[in-house]
């Protein structure tokens, strides 16, 4: 059904609820970083998105986060407007349905009463009204959410208006720091995948926060203690338990959890928001999926055995079984969690975050060692074969402490230990004292 243009302001009764504010936005192109896609939903009438010049078609789309019934769309065009465009909706971001079309637009402020439904709303420009590109100050979508938002946890406030950095800073060999954390309990719980369902998961070995269980929340993490060197790293870290037959094999002593840059521009990495949580890898992965996952580093190792996709059948006596695995390091800026516990995170592409996950955050790398060797024929994970390895992260860092480590070590291009000290550059000092607190 076609809508119509106008210059009147929408009323609450006609428009429904504003459902586009601060939602993720993706555009076909940007004129420059000064005109980001997210400007159209930031509520600021002075910021705008602009496409590249002299190119048709161009588009910009809003992810409403869930299915919605759309009743009205307000467009506030800059001087560079579209003379011909469509409003389109989609449930999957791939197949689109037009709910409004015009070839005689004159730009300005347009309030369009429409009838449509979908998770995504796209403005699809086919003809420019000027010699410039397309430019919008705001796109406001009004309607009613029709699908459940269960499983979505929203950041408050969201991080919008970020453009993935393509800057190449001065070369640094390292841009990382360590978190040294020990294992402290084993439970058949997973507070991310099975929240408030104790016993619903395979066994997990938990490191860091001593309270992590099925009922874990941000307040419960903050109220508990940690077995990490930095007492204010109250994050929950967990992975499937290693078993030799029925005997649990628990890592001995502290294990190294690296916080690194995953993008070329290490100066653009910012701290995790409190409460961010995600799953790395998959307990259902096949051997091929495990070995080709972006997080795969070197597989399983022990003694002289390296790069094994499954747990080796034998390991040299006295050696340890080891695994390294890397997490995605690009965040959508909107969600602390999503129903699949992955979609709000993404891996960089050629060292740059993708446009729909523009916020660079630390790349976590697990480096775990298990004291088992010799005959490994009965060694397996609680989740299955070795290629089912995965891990979970639930951020409980004290914001000031994490920010200090990220700024000094990652943004500063240093190779820091767990105090934020780079022994090759001692003149730059540390971040934490010998008790693990900010200096």
Which pLDDT band, with edges at 50, 70 and 90, does 8 fall under?
A: very low
Enter the CATH code of domain 12-149: 2.60.120.260
In the chain, what are the domain boundaries? 12-149, 176-428
Q: What is the mean pLDDT of residues 21-31?
A: 88
> pLDDT tens-digit profile of 330-369?
999 999 999 999 999 999 999 999 999 999 999 999 999 9
Tokens linked to 323: 């695994």
Q: Write out the DSSP string of 51-85.
A: PPSS-S-EEEEEEEEEEEEEEEEEEEE-SS-EEEE
pTM above 0.75, yes or no: no
Q: Name which of 39-43, 169-173, 399-403 the model is least confident about.
A: 39-43
Q: Are 328 and 224 in contact (CB under 8 A)?
A: no
The four Cα atoms 258, 263, 265, 269 give a dihedral, to 10 degrees, of -50
Q: Is the pLDDT of residue 196 over 70?
A: yes
Q: Are 75 and 109 in contact (CB under 8 A)?
A: yes
pLDDT at residue 10, rounded to an integer: 35
| Average pLDDT in the chain | 93
Q: Are 412 and 261 in contact (CB under 8 A)?
A: no
**Percentage with pLDDT > 70 across the chain:** 95
> pLDDT tens-digit profile of 208-253?
999 999 999 999 999 999 999 999 999 999 999 999 999 999 999 9
> pLDDT tens-digit profile of 287-310?
999 999 999 999 999 999 999 999
Q: Is the pLDDT of residue 147 over 80?
A: no
* Residue 170 to residue 175: CA distance in whole angstroms: 12
> pLDDT tens-digit profile of 73-102?
999 999 999 999 999 998 878 889 999 999
Q: Are 361 and 328 in contact (CB under 8 A)?
A: no
Tokens linked to 412: 């500063």
Residue 342: CA count within 13 A, CB half-sphere:
10
pLDDT at residue 13, rounded to an integer: 39
């Amino acid at each position: 059904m076609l809508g119509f243009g106008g210059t009147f302001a929408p009323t609450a009764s006609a428009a429904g609820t504003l459902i586009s504010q601060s939602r993720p936005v993706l555009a076909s192109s940007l004129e420059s970083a000064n005109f980001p896609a997210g400007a159209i939903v930031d509520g600021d009438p002075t910021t705008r998105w602009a496409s590249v010049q002299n190119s048709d078609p161009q588009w910009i789309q809003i992810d409403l986060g869930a299915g919605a019934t759309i009743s009205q769309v307000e467009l506030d065009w800059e001087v560079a407007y579209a003379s011909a465009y469509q409003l389109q909706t989609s449930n999957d971001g791939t197949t689109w349905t037009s709910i409004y079309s015009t070839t005689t637009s004159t730009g300005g402020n347009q309030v369009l009463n429409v009838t449509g439904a979908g998770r995504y709303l796209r403005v699809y420009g086919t003809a420019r009204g000027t010699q410039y590109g397309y430019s919008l100050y705001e796109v406001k979508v009004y309607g009613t959410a029709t699908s459940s938002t269960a499983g979505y946890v929203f950041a408050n406030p969201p991080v919008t208006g970020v453009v993935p950095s393509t800057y190449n800073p001065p070369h640094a060999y390292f841009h990382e720091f360590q978190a040294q954390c020990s294992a402290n309990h084993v439970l058949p719980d997973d507070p991310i995948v099975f929240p408030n369902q104790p016993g619903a998961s395979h066994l997990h070995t938990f490191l860091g926060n001593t309270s992590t269980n099925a009922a874990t929340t941000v307040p419960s993490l903050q109220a508990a203690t940690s077995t990490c060197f930095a007492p204010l790293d109250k994050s929950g870290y967990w992975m499937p338990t290693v078993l030799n037959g029925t005997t649990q094999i628990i890592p001995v002593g502290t294990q190294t959890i690296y916080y690194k840059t995953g993008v070329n521009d290490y100066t653009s990495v910012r701290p995790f928001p409190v409460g961010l949580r995600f799953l790395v890898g998959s307990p259902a992965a096949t051997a091929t999926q495990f070995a080709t996952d972006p997080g795969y580093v070197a597989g399983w190792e022990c003694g002289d055995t390296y790069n094994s996709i499954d747990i080796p059948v034998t390991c040299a006596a006295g050696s340890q079984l080891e695994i390294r695995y890397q997490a995605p390091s690009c965040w959508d800026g909107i969600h602390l969690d999503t129903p699949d516990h992955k979609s709000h995170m993404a891996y960089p592409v050629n060292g740059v975050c993708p446009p729909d996950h523009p916020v660079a955050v630390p790349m976590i790398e697990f480096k775990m060692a298990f004291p088992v060797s010799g005959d490994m024929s009965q060694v397996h994970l609680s989740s299955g074969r070795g290629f089912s390895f995965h891990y979970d992260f639930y951020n409980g860092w004290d914001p000031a402490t994490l920010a200090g480590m990220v700024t000094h070590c990652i943004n500063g291009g240093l190779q820091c230990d767990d105090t934020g000290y780079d022994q090759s550059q001692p003149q730059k000092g540390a971040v934490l004292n010998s008790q693990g607190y900010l200096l």
